[in-house]
Structure 1
Amino acid sequence: MTLADQVLATNDDLPIRTHKPVHSGKVRSVYWLTEQDSRRLIEEKGYNVAADAPLAIMVISDRISAFDCIWHGQGGLKGVPGKGAALNAISNHWFNLFKQNGLADSHILDVPHPLVWIVQKAKPIMIEAICRQYITGSMWRAYEKGERNFCGIELPEGLKKDTQLPELLMTPSTKGILKNIPGVPEADDVNITRKNIEENFAAFNFSSPDDIQLYEKLLSEGFNLISQALSEVNQIFVDTKFEFGYVEDASGNEKLIYMDEVGTPDSSRIWDEHEYQNGRIVENSKEGFRQFLLNHFPDPDILLNKERMTEREALARDNELPSEALMDISRTYINIAEKITGKSIQLSNNPKQEIINILSDEYGLID
């Protein structure tokens, strides 16, 4: 059994019964179940969703994406051991915490395997809801160049890199390319203001203007809950991205829920508190891997310059990274997951076969 065998690199070829093409993102693949299987599972498992809600199996891989590319290592290592299980465990932990504290549900209905979620279809809010507690990263780079207005929020003079902001900032951006919204460029990941959202709430998929305030409440309270929990394990929650959507429950009531992933090292920056107090930034997130890549290649501009995407893709495709670099990020993900959840992350010996067995035996979803 090699380390490469314990990595789930390809997750779009499982024999799960589906009538639609598998949707495969950078890290997750989504298998939409047939209407018959969705209805059967809702009844058998008692999920609190509408009887005709479309369900999907979401399988997370161990692939590592950075700078919009998938990277691989020496020795046939096509991903990061334990990464998928760590990310799922962290998200599950926070989603449960939100529910326990009366914030909102998530799109997850069931967790058959550490790499698998059963989810319900949601109508997504077309906003990347970004929350920032410290000034760092892209915001610091823009601030350093003289920018003071971020998403309609004016920042004061004299802020220092990597320091806490005067208050928690919500700096939303577009999710996907939205058309015909006055003042919002037709491009992915464009910063927007609260005024943009208020004046065009339906274009962002909000059902009512009142839900803008609800989304902000769920965003700030969710951020604060995670921040408080992380501080108890000596970690700083620096910034993160949340996503929201609408679903219907079994009674037909529409509700706003958390979706995608939340509070993970992929979607957030998390710093070690002791190191920070001693003047050092130690990242417990994917940021450390990004920094490794910037230092590893002689021309970091390829990774930072969107106009050099063809060169960047070739870099990712043609270069085997040192396996130690992938093991380093593996340790980071597993350690932070175990700190957050208080449980150990177990590597599967043959993750794909385990998933097939469980979805066949317990859910009847394998042809």
Structure 2
Amino acid sequence: MYWLTSEDSARLIRQKNYPVAADTPLAIMVISDRISAFDCIWHGENGLNGVPGKGAALNAISNHWFSLFKQHGLADSHILDIPHPLVWIVQKARPVKIEAIARQYITGSMWRAYSKGEREFCGITLPEGLKKDQKLPDILITPSTKGILTGLDGVPEADDVNISRADIERHSAAFGFEQASDIDLYETLLKQGFGVISDALAKLDQIFVDTKFEFGYVKDATGQSKLIYMDEVGTPDSSRIWDGASWRSGKIVEQSKEGFRQWLLTNFPEPDILLNKDRMPERAALARDNALPTEVMMDISRTYLGIAEKVIGKKIELSANPKAEIIAVLDKEYGLINR
């Protein structure tokens, strides 16, 4: 991420007629091919520091969903311009300190906890008798903290811990909501976005299993505050997507990062290192000291590009020199390169 000077931000807002307040800070976001899992960055053999095509796939998917959100009249996003397939020009938002998670199936960490006897998740009680990878009766909203919040009754002082709707209502200002009624709005936007993506994937016989959204506040051109979508949406990084035909036949085919997570859990001798946050130093050492097989990295590449091309309906052409392309377009069309 590259924050622009206040002068360049103001100039672009005028020149490009971006629908934001004149003093809004702008930034350039360039997505990379790096792959993270379990809070660590992983690398491959032979100097492979990322997954080929991953960045292009993620941006293509997010751009597609944000465009679809706009067509359906949903809230805006932080993205103001897309000068290159790997680049966004964005407005600065004040984030709501919640990972907004929605689940349509019981799998992953929720299933692991359920199978050990847990029935309450974020203040919601699940019924007995659910089976692994089963569709839930309703879409569940299971938020967690974004960052470490201190001094909040009932909220552990740790990153990424589950919270309930009651927790958010008690501490709405601490979580970053401007008014208590925006709690309803964030849940509405989460469900609306989930529904738009789920319906579109269903037409491709893909199942939208669960996802994470993030929200923030920005000011429009008149100075009025509004809640928007931010970060990215509906990508293999933030969501689980299953192949529909395989699921109906009793087999899970992941179209997301979850397949990579499961490979890590299966191929390292002590999975608890990856699952236990108290063992973070050991986990970091695993990622640092182990170059993953090239075929594993390329398998992730095929997964990401495959679902991206399915979503956008066309092949993604990978550039041989994206850095040069990005510099050229930011120089010639936006005047942002100092030489």
- The structural deviation recorded for 1:309 is 2.0
| Equivalence for 1:40 | 11
Structure 1 CA distance for aligned equivalents of residues 332 and 225 of structure 2: 33
- The structural deviation recorded for 1:245 is 0.6
| Equivalence for 1:249 | 220
| Equivalence for 1:5 | none
| Equivalence for 1:198 | 169
Q: Equivalent residues in 2 for 1:68-147 (5 A)?
A: 68-147=39-118
Q: Equivalent residues in 2 for 1:199-214 (5 A)?
A: 199-214=170-185
Structure 1 CA distance for aligned equivalents of residues 254 and 295 of structure 2: 17
- The structural deviation recorded for 1:302 is 2.4
1:8-60 per-position Cα deviation (integer Å, ceiling 9, x unaligned): xxxxxxxxxxxxxxxxxxxxxx1110000000000111100001100001111
Structure 1 CA distance for aligned equivalents of residues 145 and 277 of structure 2: 18
Return the TM-score normalized by structure 1.
Answer: 0.90
- The structural deviation recorded for 1:298 is 2.7
The DSSP-based 3-state class of the residue aligned with 2:173 is helix
Structure 2 CA distance for aligned equivalents of residues 218 and 114 of structure 1: 26
The DSSP-based 3-state class of the residue aligned with 1:203 is coil
- The structural deviation recorded for 1:359 is 1.1
Aligned partner letter, 2:173: A
- With 305-314 and 56-65 compared, the bigger mean Cα shift is at 305-314
Aligned partner letter, 2:93: A
- Percent identity between matched residues is 74
Q: Equivalent residues in 2 for 1:323-362 (5 A)?
A: 323-362=294-333
Structure 1 CA distance for aligned equivalents of residues 26 and 117 of structure 2: 47
| Equivalence for 1:309 | 280
- The structural deviation recorded for 1:145 is 1.1
| Equivalence for 1:189 | 160
Aligned partner letter, 1:171: T
| Equivalence for 1:153 | 124
1:259-307 per-position Cα deviation (integer Å, ceiling 9, x unaligned): 0010100000000000001100000000111111222223333222323
Structure 2 CA distance for aligned equivalents of residues 249 and 300 of structure 1: 47
Aligned partner letter, 1:80: V
Structure 2 CA distance for aligned equivalents of residues 99 and 61 of structure 1: 26
Structure 2 CA distance for aligned equivalents of residues 142 and 291 of structure 1: 16
| Equivalence for 1:58 | 29
Aligned partner letter, 1:286: K
Aligned partner letter, 1:334: L
| Equivalence for 1:292 | 263
- The structural deviation recorded for 1:101 is 0.6
Aligned partner letter, 1:116: V
Structure 1 CA distance for aligned equivalents of residues 115 and 182 of structure 2: 34
Return the TM-score normalized by structure 2.
Answer: 0.98
Structure 1 CA distance for aligned equivalents of residues 336 and 23 of structure 2: 17
1:145-189 per-position Cα deviation (integer Å, ceiling 9, x unaligned): 111111111111111110001100000111101122111111111
Could you tell me which runs of 5 or more consecutive residues in structure 2 were left unpaired when the two chains were aligned.
none
| Equivalence for 2:199 | 228
**Match for 1:171 among 133, 139, 142?**
142
| Equivalence for 1:16 | none
Structure 1 CA distance for aligned equivalents of residues 95 and 34 of structure 2: 24
Could you tell me which runs of 5 or more consecutive residues in structure 1 were left unpaired when the two chains were aligned.
1-29
Structure 1 CA distance for aligned equivalents of residues 7 and 314 of structure 2: 36
The DSSP-based 3-state class of the residue aligned with 2:174 is helix
Structure 2 CA distance for aligned equivalents of residues 273 and 41 of structure 1: 44
